[in-house]
Structure 1
């Protein structure tokens, strides 16, 4: 894989803010030498000259919000760690990227692992942590190897280990490969997995900041959240706040995939719109139009072409009825069967449910049964009400957010495309069947001949 495959199509420079992706097209961007030639570890030098509490205050004042989905203020999360409690403190980086459509952390780690390592040293210094962990999705073996090599290089350069850069601060980093469970993306399930137990969400309170890893105060942050910290320390909070919106400042990686001309990673200020991103990426594939899209992965309520100008920040997307989530923008054109796409997503959530709580364990199972029945043309009108009723019994009532993620595609697709569900019922089959539908007239062969029956595929990131 070349770094060219990591970056999306070329767009107007004024709309892009390459910070994390700035070195992706450089020679050997993952190397310590390349990272240092682009001001790498300057943020760490600045942090080590400051008291730890001042580092926390700076990140908090910069307004950095978690890039893993919830958007919780990063500096505030660090501030929750009690000081002077006599317990070890831990930093855990959540690199268990599993959300369908999300593909930002893995290419970031593959092309620029030292941004994460530098951010981890800064964060650990701020919260008085001497042992940090990276919990990586185990299937991405090339990234695992690259992370191990980058950590070894950082140790050799005196950027990890004892007395980092003569500061008297010690830090060890452990890279841990998970076993590929979606539920371990939930922070408390991740901690259980890291401790050697089955990955299942914990009852809260206590929250990880009080009793996290090994029952000690723990900060759990997303890869992109921590990797964004060094630039803030190096360039200042005013620079960071000059991008994005007032309540959602800064830059971020948008994962654009599906039926677009140039899918890929687009690093831009928070608040950019899908219309602008599509202009940069060459638009929806030639000869087709946008039908629906997800603003933050399949677990967020879907949008339609009516939402092209919604600002892609936490407040804007929330006000429009969805969540920014992981900024996984999956684009689907008019050839896509909404019922088929939602069925596939629902099957994923049912498969990945840990089974700990009844609403999610039982609810996702029955959602799949109903969705399959409707998709096959065997459903009834009452099944649509049953879908909404089951989704309501899951949403907000399950042990963690997986249940909410399973319910959201159901409720939002029925909100915007109920007529398509009714067509499946009335016509006793899928109106997008290539053997019977005019939607497919004149369509050129390709994508196995049945692309409309499949959710849009992520392209190029780790091809």
Structure 2
């Protein structure tokens, strides 16, 4: 559901909570075309950027406080600043559009509805870091989005926003859209670079970091789609306007992906620091007759929250202080009919499948986590398995080559913290208490609810 539709249904004033910028005209006919984008001040930010020295553009983005929207929240301007200048090497910008985190669905809708915001941001970024080549690494499975991005690039070339001497500035820039083969590990920036170079996608040892030796061993900036797409509005409307939203350390607007057992799932663009309670109020709340049981603030790789965390500010500091990570702002909401053990098992199966196998802790650890979880879910586990789960997750967390291992451990730690009793019920009851075919516990505890309500 678009934000405009949600506002019409709920009557909430957009001035109070929502901040539609990237999604301002997603619901308009042919929102993805250059004509529509230019009607909404498209490429005005680029014109202002080209009137500034490149170093001033970097400083401006840095001063705005824009933080990376891909999960880690690293300051975007600082990332650009790391690129060495005057080194005689070509510089590259790589846009990470390999959106793969379970529950995360913001970059693909953005590219589908408003691809020119990304292209304009790419030109600004390349001008700032003095790059003449940019790559968009997109998941190859999303063919309709791939076609739409290709068409947007073609339109930009035809209009003079890409190619030689862009808008008479002397900037030459070519953009290549690359379709990845579909691997979660390629969302890790160095694995993405290896894949882009034609090798198997596996994380690289760092240092050297991509800013020094990235794509083709040259200085490279790797940014998320939403990070780059946010830059044009900052240049066009001003850094003070951007900093007027959000919090002091997490300024600006961002896309929250609300999914799961909610009345109106969709993208909700709001200032950083909004709460899940506010977003649920606007989206019609949980599905009728049900209540929130647990949720993820940033996708399945972030420690889960419960209904006690409804008022946690959804910015980097607020979520971190509460014991999780903002990540990709993928708010997956599950009601009381959901089995926590089953959900965590499915997530862990995903991580075991997507592990690249390069490092032992992740390759072996995720496999054994799956075996234990399947046994517990099927009622074949032992109470000692719970400590064993915790130990294996601890052997993965912080000890794997990249953050995939940490992401696999997070739902284990947090689910045991908040729902250990439910794990124990699977073991002592010899089956899932949420499956009437195996146990009567679920029916006894929830006599008023239907299985498939």
What is residue 341 of structure 1 aligned with on the other side? 343
Q: 2:302–2:411: 8 Å Cα contact kept in structure 1?
A: yes
- SS of residue matched to 1:15: coil
Tell me what 1:456 maps to. Answer: none
Q: Deviations over 1:33-77 (max 9, x none)?
A: 000000000000000000000000000000000000000000000
**d(CA) in 2 for partners of 1:69, 1:9:** 26
Within the candidate set 165, 169, 183, 2:185 is matched to: 183
Partner SS for 2:6? coil
Segments of 5+ residues of structure 2 without an aligned counterpart are none
In the alignment of these two chains, the number of paired residues is: 444
C-alpha displacement at 1:441, in angstroms?
A: 3.6
Residue in 1 aligned with 2:205?
203
State how far apart, in whole Å, the 2-side matches of 1:126 and 1:6 are: 33
Q: Map 1:123-138 onto structure 2 (within 5 A).
A: 123-138=125-140
CA distance in 2, matches of 1:5, 1:274: 17
Which of 302, 305, 308 is the aligned partner of 1:306?
A: 308
For residues 270-298 of structure 1, give each alpha carbon's deviation from its aligned partner in whole angstroms, at most 9, with x where no partner exists.
00000000000000111011100000000
Residue 451 of structure 1 is matched in structure 2 by none
Q: Residues 8 and 264 of structure 1 are in contact (CA less than 8 Å); yes or no, is this contact kept in structure 2?
A: no
Partner residue of 1:276? Answer: 278
Provide the residue aligned with 1:168 in structure 2. 170
RMSD (CA atoms): 1.2
Tell me, which stretches of 5 or more residues in structure 1 are unaligned?
A: 448-463
After TM superposition, the score normalised by the length of structure 2 is: 0.96
Match of 1:9 in 2: 6
Quickly say closer, same or farther: Cα 1:315–1:82, change in 2 above 3 A.
same
User: Is contact 1:210-1:217 (8 Å) kept?
Assistant: yes
| C-alpha contact 2:261 2:286 (8 A) present in aligned 1 | yes
Counterpart selection for 1:427 from 420, 426, 429? 429
Report the Cα offset of residue 444 of structure 1: 4.7
CA distance in 2, matches of 1:154, 1:433: 54
Query: What is the rounded CA distance, in whole Å, between the counterparts of 1:74 and 1:7 in structure 2?
Result: 29
Residue 9 (structure 1) shift? 2.3
Which residue of the other structure, out of 122, 139, 157, is the alignment partner of 2:124? 122
Q: Against the structure 1 CA distance between its residues 7 and 111, is the aligned structure 2 distance closer, same or farther, given a 3 Å change threshold?
A: farther
Flag as ranges the 4+ runs of structure 1 deviating above 3 A. Answer: 4-8, 439-447
**1:91 aligned onto 2:93:** yes
CA distance in 2, matches of 1:261, 1:424: 30
The TM-score normalised by the length of structure 1 is 0.94
CA distance in 2, matches of 1:196, 1:7: 42
The residue correspondences of 1:355-366 to structure 2 (distance < 5 A) are 355-366=357-368
CA distance in 1: counterparts of 2:156 and 2:452, whole angstroms: 46
Q: Is the CA contact (8 Å cut-off) linking 1:8 and 1:266 kept in structure 2? A: no
Q: Where does 1:32-51 land on structure 2 (aligned, <5 Å)? A: 32-51=34-53
